[in-house]
Amino acid sequence: MYDNFGQFINGEWCTGRGTERITVIDPGKGCELGQIKAASAVDTLVALDCADRAFPGWKNTPAWQRADLLQAVARAMVAITQEAAVMVSKESGKPLAQAKREWELSVDQFIWHAEEARRIYGRIVESRVPAGRCEVLHEPIGVVAAFTAWNFPVVLVARKLAPALAAGCTVVLRPSSEVPGSAMLIFECLRQAGLPAGVANLVVGPTATTYGPLMSSPTVRKVSLTGSTQIGRQMIRDSASTIKRLSMELGGNAPVVIFNDADIDKALDLSVATKFANSGQVCVTGDRFYVHEHCYQAFVEGFARRASQLNVGYGLDEGTTMGPLINMKRLHAIEDIVTDARAKGGRVVTGGHRLELGGGYFYAPTVIADLPDDALAMAEENFGPIAAITSFSDSEALWDRVNNSNFALSAYAFTRDPARIREAVSRFESGMVGINSYALAAAEVPFGGIKASGMGREGGSEGIHDYMNTKLAQIVV
């Protein structure tokens, strides 16, 4: 498959001219899926030049025509749903059902933003100048550089491509080298839908030949990143000389508060399913659980019982409900977090060890109770199958503990008290809040964080404006 696609530049598939070959590994088996010839710096600059030359034409393409093209992309994606789900599962390790759901959510992005292309509204403001009129207009910002992570190899791509193209921008996208085939399938759908040459380009390669040329170029006016907070900080520094607009969805360390009036069974069913989806490698998943002391023991026992019943295995095997971690590095990181938890007095209720399954990078679903707030599992994003649980009694002191984090992407609470619901929404310092629900990611709502979890939003009517400039015209006739 990788040989059939490769780099996508100026509307055509081509072979990278880099000196490296990127090996893609199946994390469920620890074996090679295939190789791709990496992009060189010249490839990246050619892709950038093509995007720059395509921008005027795409910018001036009527919004309704852009919308029709995005709808055609969505139809092309629907036609290969099963094939795409298999590719996503093989590259990322997630169970097939989760991979299929991710592809379907990616289709949603193109459908939603096709509709948003028709709703880029300006406004008229009364002028103080006699016979004058003030017009507020929104125009595409220009060439966009987009960088995506490996944990959601298609929906992260769709979240960037769809709004950028809807707004009238052109794009050079660099996906994670660990999951390039999933992104290639989306670009093939762009090609089949008839997207004009140069409007969207894909380069796969190392940082030096892809990231560097894009960040240093004044041609790139906007950068969109999904990645770690560390990379986000570096990107801010690297963008300073050319003053690019940035939107970044970075790390998370979501708190989950279980009040004593919560529906415990509902909270457990939703929390376990969400926590261990994609082996916990989800930026908005619940990481640290604060449970009222009156229901603490029941919650811990219920969480451990449900976690131990998960079917861990290869993503394409029938009945698998949790797959592997993405690579050996992630496996070692999870082991370090569990070691730290034990050293700080945490009680491993279930899991806490590797699983030897077919050569893949598997770790048992893990529940750790009685953790202090300074344990790594509580204080940092664990990005793995670890549920860290502690108790609370004083609701006022709880908010200081919950908000004592640089991460502020998502936060959750379970309660049936209307007053507590409003208090939780108000008191959480977070870009997104879920009450009795973890369902935050959808095309129609803004997705993103604050503080060290990023800036800007993807999705909703807000998302498309991150790809647009606002212009004021004072017109006197």
Q: What number of residues does the chain have? A: 477
The token pair that represents 404 in the structure block:
């004592």
Q: Where are the beta strands (DSSP E) in 177-309?
A: 200-202, 220-226, 245-249, 254-258, 286-292
135 catalytic residue (yes or no): no
Angle at 452 between CA 447 and CA 456, to 5 degrees: 35
- Give the residue ranges of DSSP H helices in 309-410: 328-343, 376-379, 395-403
Q: Which residues pair with 288 in a beta bridge?
A: 255, 388
Phi, psi of 277 (to 5 degrees): -65, 140
Residue among 430, 425, 387, 392 nearest 408 (CA): 430
Query: Which are the contacts of 56, defined by CB distance < 8 A and separation ≥ 6?
Result: none
CA dist 286 and 93 (Å) reads 20
Half-sphere exposure of 140 (CA within 13 A, CB side): 27
Catalytic pick from 116, 188, 249, 380?
Answer: 249
Kindly calculate the radius of gyration of the chain based on its CA atoms and give it in whole angstroms.
Answer: 23
How many other C-beta atoms can be found within 10 angstroms of the C-beta atom of residue 158? Answer: 28
- Could you give the CA distance from residue 377 to residue 372 in angstroms, rounded to a whole number? 9
Distance, in Å, from the CA atom of 253 to the CA atom of 382, rounded to the nearest integer, reads 8
How many contiguous H segments (helices) and E segments (strands) does the chain have? 15, 24
Residue 289 bridge partners (DSSP): 256, 389
Q: What are phi and psi of 323, to 5 degrees?
A: -100, -160
Handedness of CA 207, 37, 359, 226 (dihedral sign): positive
Helix axes 180-193, 63-79, angle to 10 degrees: 130
Bridge partners of 7? 14
Rounded to whole angstroms, the Cα distance separating 338 from 402 reads 21
Tell me the C-alpha distance between 455 and 269, whole Å. Answer: 31
User: How many whole angstroms separate alpha carbon 301 and alpha carbon 270?
Assistant: 15
Active site residues: 249
